[in-house]
Amino acid sequence: MLRTRSCVLLFLLFLLFVLPLVLCDQGFPQAGVPPGYQLLTDPQMSGGLLITQRKEVTAATPLLRHGFAEVATFFDGRPRAMGGVRDASDQQAEAGFQATIQRAPVTGVVIATVGAENGTGGFAFDSPQTIARILPRLLQLGGSLGGSLQGHCPSFPVNWQVVPYPDGSGRMQLPEGWRITGASKGMVSADGPHGSVARGLHFDMMTRAGAASLYASGLVHGPSYLVADPTDPVTVLQMRWANTSTVMQQRGLPPTQITRIIETAPQPVAQAGWSATLIDLEFEYKGLLYRNVSQLILGPVRMDGTYLSYESFVSARTECFGQNLPTLIRILDSAQTASHVVWGRLESAMNSLRQAGEIYRQMIQNRNQAQDRMHANWTEAFRGTRIVEDTRTGRWHDVDLAYSADTVRRLNEREGSPRYREIPLRDLNP
C-alpha cells in the first residue's frame, strides 16, 4: 500500500484544484467509532479526526496499514488509499485516502508516527470541498494526545494575516513567523518555519530549433535564453534550477542541487498550446534534504522559437514535508495578483508578439536574399556572360564571364581611369 515514491502530495493538490466539489453532511456516526479510537471534532469546523494510540509499536507502516482495516466500521467499508510516503527509518508514514460516510464522499490524510514508547495513528477527513483548508486544524486536534502527530516538525500555524507584496503587485495570507522574501510584478516568494513557497515565477525559454535558427541568421545580439524544448518539462525545470543555483553561487550564497526526480504528473490545461506538469523532486541545500513540488506551466512556442514558462512551488524539509504540506498549499493558494499587473502582462505579451514578428520578418528577409543571390550566381554561370558597364555613358555590354574581370582591367588601363566596371547579376536586385 505504501511506496517510497510519494503520491499523497499530488493527491492533495488534486483535491485543491481538480476534484469536483461535493458537499457532505457534517454529522458523523459516533456509534461506528472503532474500539481503541477517539473521534475528535470541533463545533467551529466540519470534518473530524479518528485517532488511536498503540503501545510497543516500532514502525509506522504496519500501524498505518492496520488502521485502514480497523476504521472500516466507521466509514462505509475500508477507505481507499491514494498513495503514501514514509521516512527512511519508518518512524513516520502517511497516505491520502477516499471513503464515504453514509454514502457521502469524504477525503483525507492518515498519518502514523512512532515515538519512544507509543505509536499514534490519525485519520483526518472532511468533504472534498473543504479538506485542503480544514486539514491543518483537524491534525492540530491531535495535540490533545501529546502532539505526537506533529513529531519534531513545526506545529500548525493559527495566527494568519493578509500581507501585501512590497512592490504593491499583490497580496497573500501568511501565518506568524513567515515573511515575503521577494516580489516583482505579481511574482512572489515567501519563507517561514514550515518551508518555502513561490508563485508565478515566469521566464522566457527557447527551443533548440529556435536557438539554431537564431545563430544561423547572425541575430545573436539579442537577449540570451536558456535552451530546452517544452516537450520535456523536467529538463526545462532542471535547467532553470541550475541557472538559479549558479546565480546564488555568484552572490556568495550556498547552491541548491536536485538529487532526484521522484514523480511527474501532467495536468489538464484549457488553453490550446499550453501544458502543465506537477514535478515532485528532492534537492539538497546546505547539506540538508528538502522535498519540493513544482507546478510548471509552459506556453506555446512563438515564431522566433521562444516560449513562456511559469513555475510555482512549495518545499520543506523532507521529514516534515507531509505534515507541512497543507500549510504550504494554503499560503500558495492565497496569493493574489493586483489587476494593474495583470493588464501590464497582457500588454507585455502583445509587445513580445510584435518583437517576435519583427525578428521572424528579418530572418525570412535574410534567407530570401541569400537564396536570390545564390540563384543569380547559378543563372550567370549557366549563361556564361556578365554585364560590363560604361560608367560615363551608362551603357551595358555582355562579355564572356570567364574573361570579364580581365576585360574590365584592360579597358580601364587604356582609359587611364576606372571608367568600366563589372555588374554581377546578384547585385542587380539587392
309-354 confidence digits (pLDDT tens): 889 899 998 878 877 888 888 898 888 876 554 444 444 544 555 5
Asked whether residue 9 carries a pLDDT value surpassing 80, the answer given is no
Whether the Cβ atoms of residue 174 and residue 183 lie closer than 8 Å to each other: no
pLDDT for position 105 = 92
Side-chain-side CA neighbours of residue 367 (13 Å): 10
CA of residue 21 relative to chain centroid, distance: 25
pLDDT for position 189 = 92
Strands (E), 41-127: 48-55, 80-86, 92-101, 104-114, 118-126
How far CA 163 is from CA of 183, 313, 321, 336, in Å, comes to 12, 19, 24, 11
Cell 460516510 locates to 101
Please list, in sequence order, all residues whose beta carbon lies within 8 angstroms of the beta carbon of residue 192, skipping any fewer than 6 positions away.
174, 175, 177, 178, 179
How far CA 274 is from CA of 93, 166, 200, 298, 302, in Å, comes to 36, 30, 15, 6, 12
**pLDDT tens-digit map of 130-167:** 887 777 777 767 654 434 454 467 777 878 999 999 88
**pLDDT tens-digit map of 181-218:** 998 877 889 999 899 999 888 888 999 888 888 777 66
Please tell me what DSSP assigns to residue 58: -
Whether the Cβ atoms of residue 92 and residue 59 lie closer than 8 Å to each other: no
Kindly report each contact of residues 257-262 with a partner whose C-beta sits within 8 Å and lies 24 or more positions away, as own/partner: 257/283, 257/284, 257/285, 258/282, 258/283, 259/283, 259/284, 259/289, 261/234, 262/5, 262/6
**pLDDT tens-digit map of 240-279:** 999 888 888 888 888 899 998 988 888 887 677 888 888 9
Closest CA to 40 of 28, 57, 23: 28
Asked whether residue 365 carries a pLDDT value surpassing 90, the answer given is no
pLDDT for position 236 = 93
